[in-house]
Structure 1
């Protein structure tokens, strides 16, 4: 095995006895002792250490037998030989004791110190002193001396300078052993620190994986809940749109307006929740299209005109310093501004609201846009300001009870501002009012294509004027949503054929000619994605516009729609104005190359499923 080695007993001439067979075995014995200390230092597992202990014991027994045979041949039953033999037995017993006491656990610092101390003393006193003394006597016997003479010669040679050397070596090895023990302790501390760091890293990795899995589950759950709420909400909003076209009494119109307000509020909560979830997992994609900022501000304000008028507030707008050709995400900018305006109206009972939009910094490629909404409302205390932009947080619980709200709008606004490489914040004085602001870095570049606002301004009129009678295939499984979409399309002068699932849609396209297909996604029998793929397999339908009309509103859902062969996505609940704009775009009502409006002439036979 690969292991960093520690030589607590480096082999040198002090170990030589003059008898080559014993010296060779001593050298192997020292190697095993050093190996044992190395494994102790680097905290090898108990089974590995037990194996080394066994090898050390086995080799020591072999070595001792070799020694004892040489000593016995020279000294017979002389106390020098018998006493030496007893030290061999004691060594084996001590080695096995240390092994048995720690066979199933790691060796702590005290045990390691005990082992090193034992080996140091035994090695120096036994090999350098006892073995060397006996070896000198054996060599003297072999040269012709008597036993007594040989023992005397050995004692003389081991006295004086040699004795000083032995003591010096013993002292040196004791110091070396002490340093080794300290080194082992330091290695152990580092190993433990490394293990703790590794364990912490692994725990963080597991926690990260768990968090990512939890985020994915949360996103899937929120997306599913969003779909389940959007589908019936589409029916509510759609019915309200149709009801408002009827001749309602003043009381009925008032009630319908309340239903519409409640529906839009619920839709706003759903959108904020879903968007915040997507931001948190990094899956919210931003558009980059040419912006008409004065129009964007005006459209946002127009959504709240009734609320502003109902409270008698004075609304002022300043959009004087809007320079450059800015590109950004108009939907998200409206959403952010709408969050601020809604709060300003909610918390201001009298006085005024100021909306200010300006470009504070600009370069040839980038501009810094800043929006501010200032009100004369209730204001916010300095203690509560840090909490405002946290998810599900409001200034205080009583605020939520009195004014309502989820606390998501401001958190989402800050997250969106950060996605646009900007910031969001507030300045406020309790009892005097607040100024909420956000910034966004936007691209500054001339638009390559001209926009035609006539489409946005009167899409339904364009449909009636240029596409009356065109056939649309409406693929929708929900009967209420079928009825609503059918009424919207017929009011715009279009003829709609209904298919209740993807399989019916594939058959309908093969039997009749349609100008456009509106395709739901989640349906029985065959879903909208598979139906689109089946239709696109036939070359004659490659250019047929297929638009998703679905409650699945995530980025992944839209990407899946486009990947299946759809050209665009209309989110549910369906905004009639947005539906009509999208239909105009894909039916080709605007022909810029001729500088005006033209209509495709398509001959279609009426078909009803």
Structure 2
């Protein structure tokens, strides 16, 4: 019998992992993007079930790819952190709004809250966001009723982030191993729901790199409470007192929404009254007080001489005209934003429902009339991006590579350039450098399947302004269009600040 000689395992390099990331994400971008487009067309009930299953399976595969590659990446090299000022409230808000569609698809609520004056910390925002998305994504996956609450607070000089849910919780025995690689709390249940058991191990690695720690306890909603704590430099801000001496009643059957609303009202200096129904709320408040009522508990018509704000999901925006006609003072989109809550409450009855259309989460088009140069060599991904851009009101020109993009920029003017990174011939990084060397200051956003943090920094160093990772989602594209087209606030040729 011939013996096979033993060869030591080869350590996968960061470059190899970046290549694998690109090769996995490029076809997944096409699969998921086309599935989402198909879901938006006229389908029979049977066809819609098949397409939904296709999309959900693709999203599950993407999650596994992300976890496996990131876990390997963290083991391949020392974790490099890029600390910068991070606004805590903005971080919590972005995490919840990113995951809101997934939660609402399951009939769950996701909300956030932070104490008054929580301010700014110095941390690696990308890594911190990764921990919170991991915790909150797991919470949504394992929760079947209720929802998820994401919070931040100070704890003995440290910053503590916590994600609570109303799911099944984690047993005492499982808490000892759940942060280990492949250490699912309930392997049988996790196989059913999908997962490799790597996400929490990644979170622990990142926490240790920040000189912090992670843990899990029982939440106040009966489920799990995953937390991350670290000695992050912290600069408090002056507390918001915009709702001082104001009373706001909250009527919602979901305790997650109720608790988040209560904390946000109090963070703005107001007094919150929690009621089980509208009758109780009206009895406990004065005629001048504002009442927040969830759509499910809202009456057919608003009571006379009372200011009622209806809590809606983005999918319920079609009811706005009906609510206007029924006498409601306005609406708020869930997950609630503290600043929007204070603004609407202070406006009271004088704020017409049409005013609320300023909320970008329900805007009909992100960049109407914007002219976009799309640089993408993959025909499927180009078709997907062009379709999504057209839906946002954009006019799109396409270039198949770096040289073609430079040629287009010498004869035409654009509001935004979307630049793929890996292309035959001239790469996206080289093309970006050439474009900037020509003096072109048009905002440029990387559109890439290279998903690691060093890829993002390489794009910024090459002259890019922003970084979008494939698979491309409509929400991520809308946000980028809002930041970098005229609708995002820039209308002249002045140099833009880097998005970092």
TM range (shorter): 0.5 to 0.7
Q: Which residue of 2 aligns with 1:295?
A: 93
Per the TM alignment, residue 485 of structure 1 is displaced from its structure 2 partner at its CA by 0.9
**What SS class does the counterpart of residue 266 from structure 1 fall into?**
helix
Contact 1:380–1:433 (Cα < 8 Å) also in 2: no
1:377–1:585: structure 2 CA closer, same or farther, 3 Å change rule? closer
Shift of residue 319, structure 1, vs aligned partner: 3.5
Q: Give distance in 1, aligned partners of 2:421 and 2:359.
A: 27
Please name the residue that 1:544 is paired with. 442
Per-residue deviation, 1:463: 0.9
Residue equivalent to 1:506: 406
> 1:322 and 1:372, CA in 2 relative to 1: closer, same or farther beyond 3 A?
farther
Aligned residue among 37, 58, 61 for 1:242: 37
> Aligned pair 1:223/2:18, yes or no?
yes
Q: Distance in 1 between matches of 2:382 and 2:235?
A: 43
Partner of 1:583: 481
Aligned equivalents of 1:300, 1:581: Cα separation in 2: 11
Matched, 1:527 2:427: yes
1:373 is aligned to 164
1:506-549 alpha-carbon deviations (Å, 9 max, x no partner)? 2222232223221111111222122223323323x2x1222211
Q: Which has the higher strand share?
A: 2
- Counterpart check, 1:481 vs 2:381: yes
**Structure 2 CA distance for partners of 1:584 and 1:316, relative to 1, 3 Å:** closer
What is the CA distance between 1:248 and its match in structure 2? Answer: 3.7
Higher relative contact order (CA 8 A, sep 6+): 2
Residues 353, 375 of structure 1: 8 Å contact kept:
yes
Work out the CA distance in 1 between the residues paired with 2:78 and 2:44.
48
Is structure 2 residue 103 aligned with structure 1 residue 305?
yes
Change (3 A) 1:563 1:341: closer
The verdict on how the C-alpha distance between 1:573 and 1:347 changes in structure 2, with shifts beyond 3 A counting, is: closer
Distance 1:556 1:333, change over 3 A: closer
CA contact (8 A) 2:365 2:391 kept: no
Q: CA deviation at 1:236?
A: 1.7
Aligned match for 1:413, one of 200, 203, 209: 203
CA distance in 2, matches of 1:381, 1:302: 29
- Who is 2:277 aligned against? none
| CA distance in 2: counterparts of 1:321 and 1:268, whole angstroms | 32
C-alpha displacement of 1:423? 1.3
| Distance change in 2, residues 1:318/1:525 (3 Å) | closer
| Residue aligned with 1:548, SS | strand
2:257 is equivalent to residue 461 of structure 1:
no
The CA distance in 1 between the partners of 2:376 and 2:39, in whole Å, is: 24
Match of 2:470 in 1: 572
Structure having the larger proportion of residues in helix: 1
What pairs up with 1:87-98 in 2 under 5 angstroms? none
Aligned counterparts of 1:322 and 1:421: Cα–Cα separation in 2: 26
Give the Cα–Cα distance (whole angstroms) in 2 for the partners of residues 401 and 522 of structure 1.
35
The 3 A distance-change label for structure 1 pair 413 and 401 is same
Q: Tell me if structure 1 keeps the 8 A contact 2:372–2:414.
A: yes
What is residue 325 of structure 1 aligned with on the other side? 119
Does the 8 Å CA contact 1:380/1:428 hold for their aligned counterparts? no
Whole-angstrom distance in 2 between the partners of 1:462 and 1:346: 30
Distance in structure 1 (CA, Å) of the matches to 2:231 and 2:120: 10
Mean Cα deviation higher: 577-586 or 335-344: 335-344
Instruction: Give me the whole-angstrom Cα distance separating, in 2, the residues matched to 1:273 and 1:322.
Output: 38
- Tell me what 1:124 maps to: none
Structure 1 unaligned blocks of 5 or more: 1-209, 592-597, 602-609
CA pair 577-308 structure 1, distance change in 2 beyond 3 A? closer
* Equivalent residue in structure 2 for 1:279, among 74, 86, 94: 74
Q: Distance in 1 between matches of 2:135 and 2:478?
A: 28
Alignment of 1:173-252 (within 5 A): 215=11, 217-252=12-47
Give 2:178's aligned residue.
388
User: What does the per-residue CA deviation read over 1:470-491, in whole Å, with 9 as the maximum and x for residues that have no partner?
Assistant: 3221111100011111111111
Distance 1:482 1:438, change over 3 A: same
Which protein has the larger Cα radius of gyration, Structure 1 or Structure 2?
1
Two-structure CA RMSD over aligned residues (Å)? 3.7
Tell me how far apart the structure 2 counterparts of residues 532 and 331 of structure 1 sit (CA, whole Å).
Answer: 23
Distance 1:294 1:507, change over 3 A: closer
Query: What TM-score do you get using the length of structure 2 for normalisation?
Result: 0.63
Alignment length (residue pairs): 365
SS in 2 for 1:579: helix
- Structure 2 residues without counterparts, runs of 5 or longer: 1-7, 239-336, 341-357, 494-500
Mapped to 1, the partners of 2:364 and 2:85 lie a distance apart of 26
Cα deviation, residue 371, structure 1: 0.2
How far 1:222 sits from its partner (Å)? 2.4
* Equivalent position to 1:268, from 59, 63, 70: 63
| Partners of 1:360 and 1:244 in 2: CA distance | 43
Rounded to whole Å, the distance in 2 between the matches of 1:575 and 1:229 is 16
Q: 1:589 to 1:439 in 2, by over 3 A?
A: same
If the length of structure 1 is used for normalisation, what is the TM-score?
Answer: 0.52
Q: Distance in 1 between matches of 2:187 and 2:44?
A: 39
User: Matched residue of 2:365: which SS?
Assistant: helix
